[in-house]
Chains A and B, each alone.
Chain A
Amino acid sequence: MTILDRSEWYDIARETNWTPTFVTEEELFPEVMTGGLGVTRDKWEKYDEPYKTSYPEYVKIQREKDAGAYSVKAALERNKLFETADPGWISILKSHYGGLALGEYAAMSAEARMTRFGPAPGMRNMATFGMLDENRHTQLQLYFPHEHCSKDRQFDWAVKAYHTNEWAAIATRRMVDDLFLGRDAISIAIMLTFAFETGFTNMQFLGLSSDAAEVGDYTFSSLISSIQTDESRHAQIGGPALEVLIANGKKAEAERMVYQGIAGAWRLFCVLTGPSMDYNTPLAHRKHSFKEFMQEWIIGQFERSLIDLGLDLPWYWDKLVAEFDYMHHAYQLGLWYWRPTIWWNPAAGVTPDERDWLEEKYPGWNDTFGKCWDVIIENVVAGRMDKTYPETLPILCNMSQLPICAIPGNGWNVKDYPLEYQGRTYHFNSEIDRWMFQQSPERYRDHMSLVDRLLAGQIQPPDIGGILKYMNIAPGECGDDAHKYAWADAYRVNPFSKSAA
């Protein structure tokens, strides 16, 4: 056996930069697609990807991984998980696939941007594997939900969601487009791989994977933990890109990109993962609260990796950490109240026992969010269902495209953060969202939120029926309470036990 060790030829495979002479350097790597803040391409020669692999190793390992993921699925096909699992868990699967499958495909395009326009050959080669990885993640996360299509129309949204103007889909597209699909190669390396994949996908994939195993959904658990092993490899494209920027006097600009990436990703995970963990996952199977996951996976991880690179914590760090206590509870209220406008059936998650858990994990919950749920519960118990549905849209943030909301009840802190820019007033959910807009207003200026479109007459008739039509969501797809309001029975027996804590 005389096969050379990878280290003997690896460097040759990444010595592929040359200075073009038939076109200019700027033509070959245009600023709009490459980015890089004016750091010249020769400086990128120092780029060194920490995770090294090669084509033959990649196809071998990935072949084995796929054999694992697909065989778990095949082996468990006859188990009756879909029929026996808690409806809240099924809702997590629907929101996950609809929110992620086509986003993974957008990430493939973003990896392709780094493969074509990345200034360093090592980055371009790693991004080639990244393209393949994201291709894999799209295909797995379409193949797995597809088998449920014939049982439940909402599973069609695994592929449909991104093609609609459904509000959560708009918010998801905003994040995906702003953090990677609509960015240059260097920004993608930082915002997608460093900010988004290093921290947040870790949480969605490892956090949900552990919940899935608890619930007994081993197919989903093995699927997403297999995906995460790819993510943790190609997420390492961003770190050395930051090192090059910092070494060439661009620390402040690099920090700004990291901060935008973290803030953008946080909003999306807050609305998708937060309610999944704290409301939809059956109480008996919750290992940690969303806040605990955030503290363990996000805070610790980001603080370590930022410090390692010599970067400062974001100016908004304390504000973001403070949001762990309330923002996803506010989004959960919105998701449940506007349930006909989403493609999964949200669990209310507010039985007396669940409220005890919420109060324990988030002291003060009963006095704030609980007060809103009290009203909902009273209406449900009294059969006044019309009062539990919306008649129009909430005010939306011009950055996140999510409702402007915060703490209700005794902790009231809901506030609009407006900004006048070139004659238009924009509305934001927080100082962080407004700051994001101010970093590059030209990226957002003429975008219209769903509410802006309603007010401009683009949605007709301007009522909930017209809005649903505009969102392309119809009965049979529209969400409803996951447990068909059975959770309210506890309050029918004793309506005064709602604030158990």
Chain B
Amino acid sequence: MTMPEILKPLKTWEHLSGARRKPSEYEIVSTNLHYSTDDQNSPFELDPNFDIALWFKKYRNESPIKHPDWNSFRDPDEIVYRTYNLIQDGQEAYVFGLLDQFSDREHDKALSPSWVALLGRLYTPNRYLFHSLQMHSAYICQMAQASTISNCATYQTADHLRWLTHTAYRTAELAKVHGAAGFGLNEKNRWLSDPAWLDIRELVEKALVAWDWAESFVVLNLIVKPSIEGATIRSLGESARRNGDTLLGLLSDAQLVDASRHQKWSRALVKKMLEQDENREQLRVWIRKWMPLAKAAINSYCQYLVEVPDAAERSIATVEEFHASLGL
């Protein structure tokens, strides 16, 4: 046999060594980490056609959204684990500082009965919604075509647990001051049967079972999240400020910092998808398919935010402008 050339050490991983610049820490620890995408016919070192292998072949490998090099995707914020904790520990210190101060000032005692009732109806049931976003993000994490996409979904999953945590915390606080209002007791019923939530719940239940990985991303990050962020976070926060609930306004703003980071990577991933022109029509098909449910969800919820009369209109417009800005 002829001996091949002897490989020399490189300055970085072989797959990054073609670039003209030194790779960043982000690239060193985030790129090319999924190996189950290597053999399209057999995702795992197991039978090529047992049930979970078929799931990955059908919903990931055979997705109508194609790209020859998914591993070229980059998170525009280049978040790595240690920076994620640095950022969010700082954010949580801020939020818990707020919670501490407002509690010392007996903020909740000053809330009007009608606003307290509205919080029980439109705010605290959010924990079911936020948990569904957490679950859904975790699906995208495990099904994504590239580790750089999965990582964005991982941090997004954790961010939604963060939102759920804030909501659970506030639920317990409100229950202490307004025991008769049913905080911590009535949320599930509201979530299941209140007309303010029914259409949102229909949207997220159906979204959770959109199994194609790309459709799952589109419906969560381009439809569900922008819709509910406009309605149950931003518009509710505005309504809060108009009802003397400064705390909820500030909490909402803190969560929207996460949401805008999620939008940044979503925008980058759509851009990556649109490098293949054939993908544009399929993305539009999905947006057309899901927008009616999203609009219904926004309208049903926002009609109860009487102090923000244009909440629904603005929320829908924001979602549509987002899509337009993506070229969809």
Contact = CB atoms under 8 A, between A and B. Distances in A.
Interface of A: 1-4, 8-10, 12-13, 15-16, 18-23, 27-28, 32-33, 54-56, 59-60, 62-63, 66, 70, 102, 105-106, 108-110, 112-113, 115-116, 121, 124-125, 127-129, 131-132, 135-136, 138-139, 142-143, 146, 149-153, 155-156, 158-160, 162-163, 170, 173-174, 176-178, 181-184, 401, 440, 442-447, 463-465, 474-477
Contact of A476 (B7, B103, B134, B172): B7
- Most chain B Cβ neighbours within 10 Å, of A21, A112, A124, A181: A112
Contacts of B187: 15
A131 B140 CA distance: 13
Contact of B13 (A56, A151, A156, A465): A156
Given A142-B29, A149-B9, A446 B81 contact: no
A160 B7 CA distance: 14
Contact of A131 (B30, B141, B164): B141
Nearest to A125: B161
Interface of B: 1, 3-15, 25, 28-30, 32-36, 38, 43-53, 55, 80-82, 84-86, 88-89, 92, 95-96, 99-100, 103-104, 127-128, 131, 134-136, 138-139, 141-142, 147, 150-151, 153-154, 157-158, 161-162, 164-165, 168-169, 171-173, 184, 187-188, 191-192, 201-202, 205-206, 208-209
Contacts of A136: 81-82
Contacts of B48: 446-447
Contacts of A158: 13
B157 A159 contact: no
B147 A9 contact: no
B80 A139 contact: yes
A90 to B, nearest CB: 13
B46 A475 contact: no
Nearest to B106: A2
Contacts of B50: 182, 440, 442-443
A66 B147 CA distance: 21
B96 A3 contact: yes
A163 B38 CA distance: 7
A10 B184 CA distance: 11
B47 A445 contact: yes
Contacts of B202: 22
Given A112-B157, A156-B10, A475-B7, 19 more contacts: A3-B99, A4-B169, A12-B172, A16-B127, A20-B205, A55-B165, A59-B85, A63-B85, A109-B142, A116-B136, A124-B131, A135-B151, A142-B28, A150-B11, A156-B13, A181-B44, A183-B52, A442-B47, A443-B47
Nearest to A155: B9
Main secondary structure on A side of the interface with B: helix
Contacts of B100: 1-3
A269 B154 CA distance: 28
A55 B158 contact: yes
A263 to B, nearest CB: 16
5 contacts: A21-B205, A115-B141, A131-B154, A146-B13, A146-B29
Contacts of A146: 12-13, 28-29
Contacts of B191: 18
- Most chain A Cβ neighbours within 10 Å, of B1, B81, B84: B81
A205 B306 CA distance: 58
A474 B34 CA distance: 23
A96 B49 CA distance: 31
A102 B11 contact: no
Nearest to B203: A22
Main secondary structure on B side of the interface with A: helix
Given A4-B172, A59-B88, A152-B9, A112 B142 contact: yes
List the 6 shortest-distance A-B pairs measured between CB atoms, nearest first.
A476-B7, A115-B138, A465-B1, A13-B168, A9-B172, A139-B29
Contact of A139 (B81, B86, B161, B184): B81
A110 B142 CA distance: 7
Nearest to B28: A146
Nearest to A171: B45
Contacts of B209: 23, 27-28
A155 B45 CA distance: 23
B1 A153 contact: no
B81 A132 contact: yes
A55 B168 CA distance: 12
B35 A160 contact: no
A163 B9 contact: no
Contacts of B104: 1-2
A98 to B, nearest CB: 12
A55 B91 CA distance: 11
Contacts of B142: 109-110, 112-113, 116
A23 B10 contact: no
